[in-house]
Amino acid sequence: MKVLKYLLIKEYKQMFRGYLIPILFVLVPFALTNLVPRIATQEVSNLDIAVIDNDHSSVSKRLTEKISASGFFNLRSLCGNYMEAYDLLQRGDVDFIVTIENGFERILYREGAAKMMLSVNSVNGMKGGLGNNYLTQIVMQYAKELNEETRNSMVSPMNICPQFLFNSQLNYKPYMIPALMSLGLILLMGFLPALNMVSEKEKGTIEQINVTPVGRVEFILSKLIPYWIVGLFIVGFSMLLAWKIHQVVPAGSIALVFLFAFVYILTVSALGIIVANYSDTLRQTAMLMFFFIIVFALTSGLVSPVSSMPDWAQEVTRLNPVRYIITSLREIFLKGSTFTQLLPQFIPLCIYSAVTMTWAVISYRKKQ
Amino acid sequence: MTEKIVIKAERLTKQFGHFTATDHITFEVREGEIFGFLGANGAGKTTAMRMLCGLSQPSDGWATVAGYDVATQHEQVKQNIGYMSQKFSLYDDLTVEENFTLFGGIYGMSRKEMKEKTTRLLEELDFASERKTKVKSLPLGWKQKLAFSLAIFHAPKIVFLDEPTGGVDPVTRRQFWELIYQAADRNITVFVTTHYMDEAEYCDRVSIMVDGQIEALDSPANLKQQFEVETMYDVFYTLARKAKRGDS
């Protein structure tokens, strides 16, 4: 243990001697929690829409006003006919066309229902789908209003009243921030120990260590412990940023966030060491780590939910530690889940860290 | 010099696939001796030395260093040796003193002992002003002297030096050998590989390896007599030109 102390002093000094690494410790969480949730948002707004109002009635005019006042749509053009609007859509000036036929108001009052047409550019499926939803909601809301005004049940006999649980605003940020935190941790806590370890190989300093009686466990721990400490600091720093910048705070326990993050940091840092132990050069290590990080990120549910993947792919994601941490952190942040509720995530994470830690020590060979 | 044997190799062999880098070598090194381990590039010197240091597992044969078997008791071997590799391998982003503290600490020296010894060593090297200098900003000759001082910092029984003076100017080389003599005076056995034949003359005994095998082993004087030549250079040349492998 005394030896470990000297090794840790060395690692600590090396870590803070260059200025670049400490800057990364601040920059990466800052970029991931502050910038990315603003840029990589899946909330859709500023949808460009064209309205063809052939009715020119008070009902159709009010509907047009409702659409442009909703905040989701930019009313780009009031067109006289469909061809004119379709031309705008072709040129990419608008993505939605609402057509209100002549006699809309008359038919509505006479028959209790009237038709209007919505054309959607669905090259971007998500944008089209969400715009369609928003527009339907606006029309439903308007129909309800008209219904109340005329006090008869001519429009919309059924009323859907959705209630969104856990994230009532359907806000993208509390959903993405825990996932981005996990990504930041694998980037820093996976890559840096790997590069540290392999650069000792490249410089030859590891040979000077191997020829001493230093224990394998001690040497590997000396490589990992500094990153565990920094990792926990990064978790705290990211949560602080999320709170101060986006007002996103975990609904559940903060201690639980730290606990899960810690077990996850053990895993990714040990993974970095394993990769370095099997490579001879910095280049090999960097390529292997990129491979792992990209595969892990894409199969983790960061972007596309695991539940919508094909069955075989869902099975594959069970091998991915990032999946468990993203699920856990999202549940803690949004649902306020407790430790017991998260056991199905916690147990795999623990198994993962035990396996990778053991592997990291075994794969480090002082002797060839 | 005593008659006590500190390194004993018996048919020590290392194979990499079909290639036998070190081919059944047998020799002994006595305590306090300066043992020159000569051979052309690719003759198998570094491989043999790495086996003796417990960095490489022998394929066949055995060796003991400081009384411990290199194949099975390598960590005990490591407690008793110092090693200076061909490639300069101190931490260049640490200062001179921090390097001493790290390796002293690894061998279990006390803080007080390390501090005193560092002070004394740096004074002897006329190097006290560079105590807090980062190693990377030192010239190569200084780095090499420092690496040697570090290899014997924990007072090992044996120190292994793999081409310690490669790329170093003649004056520094001379100073380096003075350090080696000082270490030998303190009864540290020195096991050194070199390509400089003037350095071979400084050794108590030398062995010359050709294609993985030891072709000659004796004191420089005896070897010159045996081959009926004037210098160690001629001895080496006579043997080494028979070599079938090598990178030249």
Q: Does B148 contact chain A (CB < 8 Å)?
A: no
- The CATH architecture assigned to B1-80+159-167+189-248 reads 3-Layer(aba) Sandwich (3.40)
Q: Mean pLDDT lowest for which of A58-62, A75-79, A271-275?
A: A75-79
The structural domain count of chain A equals: 2
* Contact between A91 and A51 (Cβ < 8 Å): no
Nearest to A3 among B55, B85, B106 (CB): B106
On whether any CB of chain B is under 8 Å from the CB of A9, the answer is: yes
Q: Are residues A127 and A186 in the same domain?
A: no
Nearest chain B Cα to A367, which residue?
B55
Residue A239's contacts (CB-CB under 8 Å, 6 or more residues apart) are A181, A249, A250, A254, A257
Tell me the per-residue pLDDT of A215-250, one tens digit each, with 9 for 90 and over: 899 999 999 999 999 999 999 999 999 999 988 888
Q: Is residue A164 part of a domain?
A: no
In this predicted structure, what is the pLDDT of residue B248?
42
The span from the CA of A48 to the CA of B105, in Å, is 69
Q: Structure tokens of B224?
A: 């010159």
Question: Does residue A157 belong to any structural domain of this protein?
Answer: no
Contact status, residue B46 vs residue A357, Cβ threshold 8 Å: no
What ranges do the domains of chain B cover? 1-80+159-167+189-248
Interface of B with A in 21-60 (CB under 8 A): 50, 53-57
Tell me, what CATH number does A56's domain have? Answer: 3.40.1710.10
Residue B89 C-alpha, separation from nearest chain A C-alpha, in angstroms:
5
- Cβ-based burial of A58 (10 A; exposed 0-12, middle 13-18, buried ≥19): exposed
Cβ separation A213–B56 shorter than 8 A: no
Query: Quick one: closest CA in B to A9, which residue?
Result: B102
Which residues in chain B have Cβ-Cβ distances shorter than 8 Å to A7?
Answer: 102, 106
Question: Is there a domain that residue A161 lies in?
Answer: no
Same domain, A234 and A353: yes
What is the predicted ipTM?
Answer: 0.88
How far is the CA of A18 from the CAs of A12, A190, B131, in angstroms? Answer: 11, 19, 20
Q: Are B94 and B134 in contact (CB under 8 A)?
A: yes
Query: CA torsion angle for A285, A200, B74, B55 (degrees, to 10)?
Result: 70
Q: Which residue has the tokens 């250079």?
A: B233
Asked if A10 lies within 8 A of B98 by C-beta distance, the reply is yes
Chain A to chain B Cβ contacts (< 8 Å): 77
Lowest mean pLDDT among A110-114, A164-168, A290-294: A164-168
CA of A191 vs chain B CAs: smallest distance (Å): 20
Domain boundary at A121, A150, A179, which? A150
Q: What gap in Å lies between CA B91 and CA A27, rounded to an integer?
A: 27
pLDDT tens, A138-161?
888 888 888 777 765 554 545 556
Whether A246 and A305 share a structural domain: yes
Q: Chain B, 95-114: which have a CB under 8 Å from a chain A CB? A: 98, 101-103, 105-108
Q: Is residue A134 part of a domain?
A: yes
**Mutate which: A13, A15, A205, vs B, most B CBs within 10 A:** A205
CB atoms closer than 10 angstroms to residue B92: 15
> Does the beta-carbon distance from A366 to B55 stay under 8 Å?
yes
In a domain, A184, yes or no: yes
Query: Residue A160: inside a domain, yes or no?
Result: no
Two structure tokens written together for A333: 């942040």
Q: In what order do the strands lie in the sheet with B189-193?
A: B81-84, B158-162, B189-193, B34-39, B205-210, B213-218
| B78:A211 CB<8 A | yes
A51 and A36 within one domain: no
pLDDT for A12 equals 92
Closest chain A CA to residue B160 = A211
Q: Which domain holds residue A271?
A: 2-40+171-363
pLDDT at position A131? 84
Q: What is the DSSP letter of B218?
A: E
Residues 6 or more apart whose CB falls under 8 angstroms from that of B243 comprise B40, B43, B210, B211
Looking at chain A, the number of H-run helices and the number of E-run strands are: 15, 4
Output phi, psi for B177, to 5 deg: -70, -30
Full pLDDT tens readout for chain B, 248 residues = 567 899 999 999 999 988 988 889 999 999 989 999 988 888 888 899 999 999 999 999 999 999 999 989 989 999 999 999 888 788 989 999 999 999 999 999 999 999 999 999 899 888 888 889 999 899 888 888 899 999 999 999 999 999 888 888 888 889 999 999 999 999 999 999 988 888 888 999 999 988 888 888 888 889 888 888 888 888 888 888 877 775 54
Q: Name the β-bridge partners of B190.
A: B34, B159
The token pair at B197 is 């034949």
To 10 degrees, the CA torsion angle through B230, B236, B239, B242?
Answer: -120
Considering the domain architecture, whether residues A117 and A237 belong to the same structural domain is answered as no
Least CB–CB distance from A3: residue in B53, B75, B105: B105
Q: Examine the domain organization and report whether A51 and A35 are in the same domain.
A: no
Q: Who contacts A322 (Cβ-Cβ below 8 Å, separation ≥6)?
A: A182, A183, A186, A296, A297, A299, A300, A302
- Whether residues B93 and A14 touch (CB distance < 8 A) is answered with yes
> Is there a single domain that holds both residue A269 and residue A352?
yes
Q: Tell me B13's DSSP state.
A: E
The answer to whether residue A334 sits within a structural domain is yes
Chain B contact set for A207 (CB, 8 A): 55, 83, 85, 87, 89
